[in-house]
Amino acid sequence: MEKKLLDYFHRLMPLSDEERAAIAATINVQTYKKGTILLKEGQISNAAYFVLEGCVRQYYITENGDEVTSNFYLPEQWVTNIQSFRNQNPANYYVSCATNVALVVGNREKEEFLYKNFPRLETVSRLVMEQVFAEQHEFLANYLTSSPEQRYARLIAHNSELLQAVPQHQIASYIGVKPESLSRIRKRMAEKKS
């Protein structure tokens, strides 16, 4: 499984055998059961995760107790609360396992060790962050400029496996509608196909 992370880094920037070996020596793969909460609102994040298998969900809890899904993370995506992890600020949302997952778990100490001994890995880290920020920017731009039906169609086109992996009320929340509205969207889309 560690090969997935090494291949991911290598696609961003070719790594030397020594760099690959150093990264491999620090990789900590953990499996978590569906429903495990990795980060709670108010906690300080002490880990960053790279999804190898499964799906991780990010969500907020509103004042009236409703969960609002703000993101899903699938294989080869990073899960981190940068504000909390880097600045040691309390998290303002939850991160939980939407399915059983296998994750690479990283921490600041391992990261600093690698940077000190392999300075080029800071460049790899910067490239990772640029990619994460670009993905988040694209997601936000698409979300703000599209209708719920368009968001759902994009989800089907790009992440159809998610529709089978997580409950429909979480999908509804993710695209910004109530479950009843998602049912109507699905019905309209099915009618258009026939």
CATH number at residue 88: 2.60.120.10
- Give a yes or no: residue 74 inside a domain: yes
DSSP 65: S
Mean pLDDT of 88-102: 95
- Give a yes or no: residue 190 inside a domain: no
Q: How many residues does the chain have?
A: 194
Mean pLDDT of 44-64: 95
Percent of the chain predicted with pLDDT > 90: 68
**pLDDT at position 194 over 80:** no
Token pair belonging to 187 = 């019905």
Query: How crowded is the C-beta side of 35, counted as CA atoms within 13 Å?
Result: 0
- Give a yes or no: residue 137 inside a domain: no
CA distance 139 to 151: 10
Unique residue bearing structure tokens 């400029």:
145
Q: In what order do the strands lie in the sheet with 56-61?
A: 37-39, 94-97, 56-61, 67-73
pLDDT of residue 41: 95
Which value, to the nearest 10 degrees, does the dihedral of the CA atoms of residues 59, 60, 62, 64 take?
50
> How does the average pLDDT of the chain come out, rounded?
92
- Give a yes or no: residue 46 inside a domain: yes
Q: Which H or E element spans position 25?
A: helix 17-26
Top-ranked range on mean pLDDT: pick from 54-58, 138-142, 187-191: 54-58
- Give a yes or no: residue 10 inside a domain: yes
- Give a yes or no: residue 162 inside a domain: no
**pLDDT at position 168 over 80:** yes
Q: For the whole model, what pTM was predicted? A: 0.89
- Give a yes or no: residue 83 inside a domain: yes
Mean pLDDT of 79-85: 87
CA distance 122 to 120: 5
Amino acid in the structure at residue 113: F
Which residue in 187, 192, 193, 189 sits closest to 153, CA to CA?
189
> How many separate domains does the chain show?
1
pLDDT of residue 36: 98
Which residue in 27, 30, 24, 82 sits closest to 53, CA to CA?
30
Q: Which domain holds residue 110?
A: 2-119
Burial class (CB in 10 A: 0-12, 13-18, 19+), 111: middle
- Give a yes or no: residue 169 inside a domain: no
Burial class (CB in 10 A: 0-12, 13-18, 19+), 10: middle
